[in-house]
Amino acid sequence: MLTKLAYTLLALSSIAAAQPLGVPHVHHQHQKREAAVAVDTVVVTVTQNANPTTLQTVMTSATTSSTASTEAEAATSSSATTSSSVAASSSASSSASSDSSSNDTSSYEDGTVEYYAGEGKGITYSPYSDSGSCKSESDIQSDIQKLTDFDIIRVYAPDCSCVSAIMGAMGSNQKVFAGLYYMDSLSSDISTLATQVKASSQGWDGIYAVAVGNEWVNSGTYSASEVASAVSSGRSLLQDQGYSGKVVTVDTIPAYENNNELCEASDFIAANSHAYWDGNVEAANSGTWLEQQIADVKSACGGSKSVLITETGWPTKGDTYGSNGVPSTANQLACIKSIAEAVPDQVIFFTAYNDLWKQPGSQNCEQYWGIFN
């Protein structure tokens, strides 16, 4: 978690100076643990000659760092104790939804943003109500049953027993891309995740991959070497729980390009990338832009590992960013359509529903990236 403003700006200055062909980028964290809201927005703008022109940090928190850490641990404990009952009650729902098939035939009308989003590989999901509290198991499962077009449902942490609830509602061809959000509670969060997964009918077969962290290097929270070490530790702890699948860290494309340790640590390149935050890309050209981003990061990481864009999308409300980053429903449709036509099998769209529990952020758009509202 970000702690001191001075530390954050120093870290961001270091990252910005290291980017050879940087573009404006905004990191919007999904920092949420049960009802403790702490959403940070970090803005880094870098010009084409690699000279940083903007360093802005907007830090809004409902708790202090120490309080948030304590609440995170308490929430993890609560999640672990309730996951068994949640998984048991969701088993019937799993049977009912097992006939659902993802990505075969869209459930939505051709030409809609939902239709084009369904052409992608996955979608991100957060299990929080507008007030920031956990959604009920039935509400989570109702949400997931509207997302049957996707092969992957990505979550950022095993909060709210969401992994258990999702696995009880998803179709037989769907998998969860699980996340571990906090380094300081990595071991306990893996235990929580394992409890939920093992109580499901699919077990670890229902997990696509596990991400250790989300934009830790980009945010300046940890160094690349610290993140690589955490990925290694997380992989070992997951193996102890019976998981033998893929483990990665999720970060931005510039973070991967400038830190080969991230490339080496991850089983595939998992990167967040949004044309909106470039500021110069028209929504309708998002697919071409993203295709180039994928090629660039693949090359920077040696060319041997596959690339999965773990977040990409466009906000429907908020302030204009740069010359072409204009939030609107029309631009969201144009963006999603363009990406779906260019690189559908390499993207997880951001995000399923609006996140009204978040703070608006520097561009007043953080709450409005939802596709299925």
Task: List, by residue number, the catalytic residues.
Answer: 311
Among 32, 160, 191, 176, residue whose Cα is nearest residue 102: 176
* Backbone φ and ψ of 32, nearest 5°: -155, 130
For 83: left if phi > 0, alpha if psi spans -120 to 50, otherwise beta; the answer is: alpha
Number of C-alpha atoms within 13 angstroms, CB side, residue 12? 25
Distance (Å) of CA 300 to CA 27, 257, 261 = 21, 5, 12
Residue type for position 329: T
* Tokens read off for 61: 């928190």
**Residue 92 CB partners (closer than 8 Å, separation 6+):** none
Strands (E), the chain: 25-28, 32-33, 36-46, 52-61, 122-124, 152-154, 175-180, 207-214, 246-252, 269-272, 307-311, 348-349
Pairing, β 246-252 against β 269-272: parallel
CA-based torsion, 357, 362, 365, 369: positive or negative: negative
Q: How many angstroms separate the CA atoms of 16 and 255, rounded?
A: 10
Number of C-alpha atoms within 13 angstroms, CB side, residue 300? 24
